[in-house]
Structure 1
Amino acid sequence: MAEDVPQMIEDVPHMTDDVPQMSEDVPQMTADVDATVAEDLGHDGAEGSHADEGFPGGPCDPSVLTSFAEHVAHAIWTGHERPELKLVSNRRKVTLIGRPVPEIEGLVAATGLSQLIGCSVVTSDPRLIFAFMERWHRETGTFHLLVGELTITLDNVSSLLHLPISGAFHSFEALSVDEAVFLLMELLEVSSEEARAETSAKNVHVVHLEAFRDLGHSGGYAWGAAALVHMYDQLDKASRTTTWQIGGYLTLLQCWIYEHFLSMHQFVIDDAYEETSPRASRWLMTKAHMKGITGASYRAHCDSLSITNVCWLPYSDHRGVRGFELISSFQGQLRWGPMVVTVRSERVLCQFGYIQSIPLSPVSASLSYDDIDEGWMHFSDHVIALGDLCVVPGQVSTDYMEWLFQISHPFMIPTQAGDQLRHAPTPDHEDYMQPDIPEIPVDDYEGYEAIAERLERVLNLRMVTVGTVT
């Protein structure tokens, strides 16, 4: 989107508590840090020796993470910590406004976005966000962790926010100032003077109003895919050394972390939460309730994760409300307007209940908007090819971890002199205690219910294929 696209006024009420507002699209950084990183990249950048030989502590094989020289993980490893990122959101302002009046709330419901009214959380511990942001890589669209790659999927968006993940993508073009003023006058019923006075404000792009010109049509958009596109885009930008802030719908990222990494935070679940509500609304997100992990930093905690620290399939209890949709395993390009990202579901098979094998190298294809839309409308032709079911959650093939250590940066904290060398962990599933499956007496009704729940789970997750024994 062009930088001169005018934006909505800053005090206009918004539907959600976490609407991003970016003060500039151009990344910024303090001069002294920027200079030191630039000097280091001159030695270790793409045209230096590491392009072929890899990076100390980073990928030995740089053929996958091709832009690692500009990645924040490389700067951290070489001792060039950048300033703490600024988290940009509109949460505080909307909290003061409260819920919209019933008439407005009814209009929001027509768009398919009403679930967001009660789905925003307080970002009380930004360092938790940072710990995952610095492990994100745009080439793969995943977080690189010691246990493998994980990502925010369409199923995560559907379960956490209850947004529709199927439907059309929105197409729009950049607006001139006069066009933006006219759109504000037409759709927000403000005067020309008011509209022109606010076209330099930094908040939500005016062009997005086009999606709400016809509220009946607005309900047909794939809003869940739009949320994922913006989240991926913000993570792509924030993972670069020269970026100093991250926006996007941070509630999505934060609640995804809580669901998958229960050991990362001491949290409190709202006693009033009902499973029929979006999963994101179950967390009590006040400073009184939220406490970070003690005894170690988030970065160090991520450096020591094991498969037992990860909740690979967190929505089993929620499937009766929000079932797994086949479109969640789509792989390919998503877009919202001119913003395009790639989802690579084949890299996170463990999140779909399957054993992770070495994925193919990511390929960057330049597709037209029509081709992207066509692939999305025929998503069943572009879903991941699944393999063997996981007997143990988080299970990987025998050669996967060794491969991961070659192409990734599994640790963020550099070793010190005298430290033992760290190697790829051998997958050891004996640490995971699989619940016993008791023999069920013929007249044990509860036992039958337990069997039915297990069958429903594998059916909802599409974990059953031809020849599967269950």
Structure 2
Amino acid sequence: MSFREMTITLDDVLAFLHLPMGGRFYTPGYATRAEAAQTCALLLGGSASDYALKFDHVKTIGLRFGFLQELYTKALRDRRYGPATQMWLVHVVGSMLFACKSGGWYTTVHWISIVEHLDQVLEYAWGAIALPTLYDALGHASQRKTKQMCYYTSLLLAWVFEHFPPTIIQRMEVPDYTEDQPRACRRRESRTGHPELMERQVIFDEMTAEDVIWTPYEEHRDRSSAAVSVDGAYADYEPYLIPEGVPATIEGEVVGNYLDWYTTVSHSVYHPG
């Protein structure tokens, strides 16, 4: 954009989801196909060979949500409530944070060891996990050969609703929304009135900093018990923070000429021919 760049932050995620930002952070392992199948068999029941076959259906290490629903229903019928709870969590978390549509609606399973110990599930920083997951998806989406974006696209859409005008994307207000709810519940995408891709690109290129809503959550923070300031989470890390000094008035004062250089290697401005 003409005023350089902006991105979704933890502050946005906290307002959108009301999920904890502090706690244990999960770093997914890069298990082999056989290891992932074995983990699924251990946590969800069945045999590793069955899960390896399910991986073939989505052409990656993942499970379709329809299959997870079948497992959950069977576990309830057999009164295996512990495994049923694990399957339900895999379905809910997977459909929110790790959902993919290529080859069918499914979730990757590199993260499911989180649900092994149900008494520890609430210890994880789920809100903080959501943001790098979205960043990872955006990184893949920026590649030339990528045809669609996966993972938590609703989080990105909510961010667009809050910070950009309706000329970018039409939205509908949810009539019964209240500020004590997660802010992502406030609006829905309109099915009509969307500009074409190239038209939207021109709108982005012509936007100025004055067109952006930079502080959309002031009322939400005042009225929501869940939405506390992200800045407060860093209070315990004060020795590691840069001391307060003279504030920068323009971007270039932070690191000299950085943004001028950065725009020569990334984020080019495109104009329709």
Are residue 313 (structure 1) and residue 215 (structure 2) matched?
yes
Structure 1 residue 282: Cα displacement = 1.1
Q: In 2, distance between residues paired with 1:249 and 1:152?
A: 13
Q: Which residue of 1 aligns with 2:269?
A: 412
Q: CA deviation at 1:267?
A: 1.8
Most deviating of 239-248 and 259-268: 239-248
Is residue 121 of structure 2 the alignment partner of residue 218 of structure 1? yes
Question: Which whole-Å deviations, capped at 9, do the CAs of 1:123-163 have from their partners, x for residues lacking one?
Answer: xxxxxxxxxxxxxxxxxxxxxx2123211111111111112
Distance 1:257 1:179 in 2: 38
Q: CA deviation at 1:256?
A: 0.6
- Please name the residue that 2:21 is paired with: 165
Aligned pair 1:326/2:231, yes or no? yes
Runs (5+) with no aligned partner, structure 2 = 63-106
2:188 corresponds, among 279, 284, 289, to 284
Cα distance in 1 for partners of 2:2, 2:271 equals 14
Aligned-partner residue type, residue 168 of structure 1 = R
Name the CA shift for 1:385/1:314 in 2 (closer, same or farther; >3 Å). Answer: farther
Identical aligned residues as a percent? 27
Cα separation, 2, equivalents of 1:166 and 1:397: 32
1:274 to 178, 193, 199: 178
- Which structure has greater helix proportion? 2
CA distance in 2, matches of 1:243, 1:211: 29
**Contact 2:170/2:189 (8 A) holds in 1:** no
Q: Taking structure 1 as the reference length, what is the TM-score of the superposition?
A: 0.41
Q: Is the 8 A contact 2:171 2:190 kept in 1?
A: no
Task: Give the Cα separation in 2 of the matches to 1:148 and 1:182.
Answer: 47
Check whether the contact 1:267–1:291 (CA below 8 A) recurs between aligned residues.
no
TM-aligned CA distance change 1:306 to 1:171, over 3 Å: closer
Cα distance, 1:381–1:159 mapped onto 2, change above 3 Å: farther
What's the counterpart of residue 157 of structure 2? 254
From 270, 292, 300, the equivalent of 2:202 is 300
Paired residues for 1:179-198 under 5 Å: 179-191=35-47, 194-198=50-54
Q: Does the 8 Å CA contact 2:22/2:125 hold for their aligned counterparts?
A: yes
Equivalent-residue separation in structure 2 for 1:183 and 1:149 (angstroms): 41
Secondary structure of the 1:207 match is: coil
Shift of the alpha carbon at 1:388?
6.5
Aligned residues: 218
Matches for 1:111-150 after TM superposition, within 5 Å: 145-150=1-6
Larger Rg over CA atoms: 1
Q: Relative to 1, partners in 2 of residues 1:386 and 1:398: Cα closer, same or farther, differing over 3 Å?
A: same
Give the aligned residue type for 1:210: S
1:279 aligned partner, one-letter code: R
Query: Following the alignment from structure 2 to structure 1, what is the Cα–Cα distance between the partners of residues 242 and 213?
Result: 21
User: 2:141 and 2:119 mapped to 1: Cα distance?
Assistant: 35
Report the counterpart of residue 250 of structure 2 in structure 1: 397
1:293 shift after superposition = 4.8
- Post-superposition shift, 1:292? 2.1
8 Å Cα contact 1:266/1:293 also seen in 2:
no
What letter is aligned with 1:206? V
Q: Matched residues in 1 for 2:170 and 2:182: separation?
A: 21
Task: Give the RMSD, CA atoms, in angstroms.
Answer: 3.4
Amino acid at match of 2:10: L
Task: Quote the residue 2:84 is aligned against.
Answer: none
Which residue identity is paired with 2:175?
D
- Give the letter for the 2:201 counterpart: R
CA distance in 1, matches of 2:47, 2:156: 38
Q: Which residue of 2 aligns with 1:7?
A: none
Provide, for residues 76-128 of structure 1, a one-character-per-residue CA deviation record: whole Å limited to 9, x for no partner: xxxxxxxxxxxxxxxxxxxxxxxxxxxxxxxxxxxxxxxxxxxxxxxxxxxxx
Residues in 2 aligned to 1:178 and 1:411: alpha-carbon distance in whole angstroms: 42
Give 1:243 deviation, angstroms. Answer: 3.1
- What CA distance in whole angstroms lies between the structure 2 residues aligned with 1:396 and 1:161? 32
Q: Note if contact 2:173-2:186 (Cα within 8 Å) is conserved in structure 1.
A: yes
Q: Which runs of 5+ in 1 are unaligned?
A: 1-144, 331-376, 390-394, 417-470
